[in-house]
Amino acid sequence: MKNATLQSFADFLEEVFHALAKAVRQGVSVIATMSWPALLMTCIGLALLLTILPLAIFLFLVFMGIKLVVAAIVLNTRRNRNGE
């Protein structure tokens, strides 16, 4: 295994930058060739994805947290009742 040096890290970052630049160029090319209705539907779909998906994940985490708190309270009361 070769030693990690600052130069190898710089080479890695340069490779990542070139890959991202290539992806952006391809994306711009695809967007430039889209028709207006397809572009509109893509924008609406992307907006829905960026707004609804984080909301769904947040609500899932909130309700899972509430469920865990309620389950802990119920289990604690059952343990105290059985221990008497």
pLDDT digits (tens, 9 = 90+) for 28-47: 999 999 999 999 999 999 99
**∠ CA(71), CA(75), CA(76), 5° rounding?**
115
Residues 84, 72 share a domain: yes
Residues 81, 47 share a domain: yes
Residues 76, 50 share a domain: yes
84 SS3 class: coil
Residues 83, 64 share a domain: yes
Please give the residue that has the higher pLDDT: either 17 or 76: 17
Residues 69, 48 share a domain: yes
Please give the pLDDT value at position 68: 96
Residue 39 contacts residue 31 (beta carbons within 8 Å): yes
Q: Assess whether pLDDT exceeds 80 at residue 4.
A: no
Q: How many domains does the chain have?
A: 2
By residue range, what is the domain housing residue 84? 36-84
Residues 28, 48 share a domain: no
